[in-house]
Amino acid sequence: MDNFEKYIIRQTANLKKQTIYYFLKEQKISEHYVKCLRNTSGTIILNGNTVSINHPIEENDVLEISKSPQKGSEIPECDGTLEIIYEDDDYIAVNKPHNLACIPTRKHLQNNLGGQVVKYMKNKDKNFVLRITNRLDRETAGIVVIAKNIDAFNKMNADKTYYAICEGNLDLSPFTIDKKIETISHNGINQMKRVISENGKTAVTHIFPVKNIDKNCLVKLKLETGRTHQIRVHMSSINHPLVGDTIYNENNKSHAYLLLKELSFTHFRSGKKIVLQVDFPSEWNMIENYLT
């Protein structure tokens, strides 16, 4: 069954109780996932028969559990062309353009990446749940990976490399920004703009300047932490804001020239290293002549 995860029961003597529930907990299946299996009929099959979560098990039993035991995401479907760069039974990776929100908001209810993915996946799995493993902010372009099941989501650990164009020239030696970032709240509502503050959370960005281009600089960046707007806040804090940034740059506002260009991860199922890359967006034509 394509929509079921298959297990061969082993080492039942090590379980607290020899039931499906305790076997799944030993597999580090989340309590939320187990709850969905428990509450949805037909999601647990043992040796070809539908059973309950507390059914006893024996060595070498064949267990199958639904990859989508919960109700599918109730996100409005959106029109749009997905640029799919990788897909298998567990993941789908797309190249997100600038100025496209990852998830629905009041301003982007009918135009967001999540709605496009849901429309694409509902033809394959009516119970599809949207699980974005690496959400990018609206202005940022590049690779977004969506897990097709909870196991894939929980076991994703990606290495990511960003590129950006910042204002001003930089010395081409690598350097690190280690400055805490705080989210400001007014009347209990978080503000969009983040600030550098000792009251914030630890944020570390490694910067590798690539090339000075006229009055700007192309930089490669690696993150130790993943704070909202981290790259945009950090580069602005050293007076080299990203070109086009609508929040942290007062000049030439269009969108931040920030791209998640490279992403790699070890596939939990095959052990194979998956390496994904995308081209610079067409809006980045200012750098083409400098990278040949």
pLDDT in tens, 13-60: 888 899 999 999 888 887 878 888 888 888 999 999 999 999 999 999
Mean pLDDT, the chain, whole residue set: 90
Q: Which residues are catalytic?
A: 137
Q: What percent of the chain has pLDDT over 90?
A: 67
* Other beta carbons less than 10 A from residue 109's beta carbon: 13
Task: Say whether pLDDT at 292 is over 70.
Answer: no
pLDDT in tens, 184-223: 877 666 678 899 999 999 999 999 999 999 999 999 999 9
On the 0-12 / 13-18 / 19+ scale of CB atoms within 10 A, 183 is: middle
Q: Which of 103-107, 168-172, 193-197 has the lowest mean pLDDT?
A: 103-107
Q: Amino acid identity, residue 1?
A: M
The DSSP string of 90-143 is SEEEEEEPTT-BSS--SSSTTSBHHHHHHHHHHTT-TT---EESSPPPTT-EEE
**Reported pTM:** 0.81
pLDDT in tens, 215-254: 999 999 999 999 999 999 999 999 999 999 999 998 877 9
| Stronger pLDDT, 66 or 145, i.e. the higher one | 145
Task: Say whether pLDDT at 1 is over 80.
Answer: no
Considering only CA atoms, which of 89, 27, 143 is closest in space to residue 267?
Answer: 89
pLDDT confidence band for 109 (50 / 70 / 90): low
The DSSP string of 156-170 is ---EEEEEEEEES--
